[in-house]
Amino acid sequence: MKSNPNTTKITAKAVPHRQVHPPHPNPSSSDDATMQLRMRLAEASGQVQNTGWLVELMQSLASTDRFSTACHELTSQLQTHLGVVRVVLGWSGSRATQNVASISGTVHQDKHSEEVRLYQSCLDEAITRETIGVCPSPSQDNDSMLSHQQVAGRDREVVSTPLITKSQTTVGSLMVIASRGQLASNPRVIDFLSASSSPLADVLSACERAEGTRFTKAIRWFRSASVAKRTVNGACIAGVIAAAWIPVTYQVAAPSIIEPVQRRFCVAPHDGLLEQTKVEPGDVVEVNQPVASMDGREVRWELAGLIAQQRRAAKQHDAHLAAHKTTEAMQAELEMQRLQSQIDLLRHRESNLTLTAPIAGIVLSGSMDRRENFPVDQGQVLYEIAPLEELRIELSVSSDDVSHIAEGTNVEMMFAGFGNETFTATISKIRPQSEVRDDQNVFVAECLLANRDGRLRPGMKGHAKIQGDKHAIGWIALHRAWEQVCMRVPW
C-alpha cells in the first residue's frame, strides 16, 4: 500500500522521564521529635530503674529481723537513691499516735530535742492532710503546712506523704528534705514518692507483724538456741522461780519531812509600835529570852493623863462629901473606879513591853525581823518558836501500802545533808484520813525522834523505809499488779 504524499506524518516525540523526590524535611521539627523521643526513653528508663530499685529495697526490708533495722535501712537507702539532704520516717502502726521511727544519718535521735519535735509536727501534718504535700508550693494551702515552712526555711524543699496500706489504713508518714530547687527541677521524684508510699507501708507493716512481741521474740530465740544455751537458760529460769519463794522483809518506801512536836507563838500584846526586834528565823532561843520590845511612850503618856484625871475625880469626890451631895459623890467614886481600871491596864502593858520566848527552841518564822517603829495590831503573830529536843517525823505512805504498816513498826530514815547516816524510830500514830501531798493521795504516819544534839531542824526532807512483815520475793514483785487486776476485773 502506497502512502499518500499529501498525508501528514505525525511522529510521537519521547517525553523525558522525571524523578520525583520527597520534600526536604524541616531540621527544627526533626530535632524536636528526636528530643521528645529521647526524653520518653529516658523517662521510661528512669521508671524502670526506680521500679527495680524499689523491688530490691522491699525485698531487703522484708528480710530484716527487726523493725527498727528496716526503718533505718529505708531512710538511708532512700536518701542515697534520691540524693537528698535528709529522709524522716514516722510510724504509728496500730497505735493512735505516731513517733519519729528513723532519721537518715542518725542512729539514735533524742525525742525531746527541738529538731525531732519539729519533724514530728511535720509528720503529723502529713497524716492530717492525707495527701502528698510539697513546700514551698504556691498551689497548696500553706496554712496546713506551718511546720513544713519552718523546716524548709530559705534553702530547703520538703515533701511529705502519708503511708497508707492497701486496706486504707494510715500507718505512718514519710518526709524528704532536699535542697531548694532540687525537687522542683525533677518532678519525677514527687511522682515516685507518691507511687511508692503504699508498697512501703505494706512492707513495713509486715515487718512489724513479723517481729512480734517480746514474748514471741524470746520463744524464737529459745528455739534457735543451742542445747547448751537452752540448758543454761532453763537453769536460770528455775533458779529465779525458786528464789521467788524466799521470804524477806517487805519494806515500804515513803518520803519524810521533819515537823516540830509543838509550836508556840509570840504575839503582840496590844496595838502599838514595835520598837526593836532581837531575833531572826533560825535563831535558837531560851525560855523567857527577850525577842522584841514595844514602844512604851504612848502608854506612859496615856497613863499620866489617866492618873491626873483620877486625882481630879478624887478631889471632886471629897468636895461633894463635904457639901453632903451624896449623889454627886457616888458618881465621882464610880469615875475613880473606871479610871483606876484603865490605869491598871496601862500599867500591865507598861510592864509587858518586852516580849519573851514562851519556850526554848528555834525560831521557825517571823515577819518582823530587822524592823523598827513598825505598827502592829493586838494578837498579831510576830514569831513562831518550836522546841528541838524532840521532833515529829511525818511519813507520806502511799494508799496502796498503808494496809501493810501498823503502829509500832520500825522505821529507818535518811535525811539530806547527813550522807549515809540512818535514824531509827517507831511509828506512833497513823492518821485516819488521807491527805493530798505532791499531787498524790497519801496517809500520814507519825513517829517521834530524839534530837538532843540539835542537828536536825524542822523542814528537813528525806526518805524512810518502813519495815513491814515478811513476804516472798515473788509476792513483793507482783502483789501491786495483782491488786490492780483484782480491782479492775469484775468478779
- In tens, the pLDDT along 126-146 reads 888 888 888 887 666 666 788
pLDDT at 448: 92
> Please, are residues 387 and 359 in contact by the beta-carbon 8 Å criterion?
yes
Cα(320)–Cα(330) distance, integer angstroms: 9
Strand partners for 341: none
Note the pTM of the prediction, 2 decimals: 0.49
pLDDT at residue 11, as a whole number: 36
Assess contact for 269 and 352: CB atoms under 8 A: yes
Query: Which positions of the chain have pLDDT values less than 70?
Result: 1-50, 138-143, 184-185, 212-214, 217, 220-223, 367-371, 491
Give the model's pLDDT for residue 32: 62
The predicted pLDDT at position 45 comes to 56
**Residue 4, pLDDT score:** 41
pLDDT at residue 255 in the model: 93
